Amino acid sequence: MAEREQWGSRAGFILAAIGSAVGLGNIWRFPYVAYDNGGGAFLIPYLFALLTAGIPILIMEFTMGQKYRGSSPLTYARLNKRTEGIGWWQVAIAFVISTYYSVIIAWALSYAVFSLNLSWGSEPEDFFFGSFLNASASASEMGTFVPSILIPLILVWAVALGVLFKGVKRGIELANRIIIPALVIMFLCIVIRALTLEGAMTGLDAFFKPNWEGLLKPSVWVAAYGHIFFSLSVAFAIMITYASYLPKKSDINNNAFITGFSNSGFEILAGIGVFSALGFMAVQSGVAVDEVAAGGIGLAFVVFPQIISTFPGFNEFFGVLFFGCLVLAGLTSLISIVETYVAGIQDKFKISRTKAVLFGGGLSALISLIYTTQNGIRVLDTVDYFINNFGIAVSGLVSVIVLSWVLRKLPELKAHTNEVSDFKIGGWWTFCLSVVTPLVLGVMLVQNLITNLTSNYEDYPTGFLITFGWTVAVLAIVFGVVLTIIKWRTDKNKLNQF
pLDDT of residue 1: 43
The pLDDT of 431-450, averaged and rounded, is: 94
pLDDT of residue 2: 56
This prediction has a pTM of 0.96
Three-class secondary structure of residue 373 per DSSP: strand
Does residue 494 carry a pLDDT above 90?
Answer: no
Does residue 45 carry a pLDDT above 50?
Answer: yes
Contacts of 420 (CB under 8 A, 6+ apart): 66, 248, 249, 250, 251, 252
Per residue in 414-440, pLDDT (tens digit) is 999 999 999 999 999 999 999 999 999
The pLDDT of 293-310, averaged and rounded, is: 90
- Residue among 111, 83, 60, 13 at smallest CA distance from 323: 111
Per residue in 56-71, pLDDT (tens digit) is 999 999 999 999 999 9
Does residue 260 carry a pLDDT above 80?
Answer: yes
Per residue in 358-401, pLDDT (tens digit) is 999 999 999 999 999 999 999 999 999 999 999 999 999 999 99
- For 3-7, 89-93, 202-206, 293-297, which range has the lowest pLDDT when averaged over its residues? 293-297
Does residue 492 carry a pLDDT above 60?
Answer: no
Determine phi and psi for 296, rounding to 5 degrees: 70, -150
pLDDT of residue 141: 87
Per residue in 341-364, pLDDT (tens digit) is 999 999 999 999 999 999 999 999
Report d(CA 122, CA 158) in Å as an integer: 33
Does residue 493 carry a pLDDT above 80?
Answer: no
pLDDT of residue 490: 67
Domain boundaries, the chain: 10-496
Indicate the average pLDDT of the chain.
94
Report d(CA 463, CA 386) in Å as an integer: 14
10-496 is classed CATH 1.10.4160: yes
Does residue 249 carry a pLDDT above 90?
Answer: no
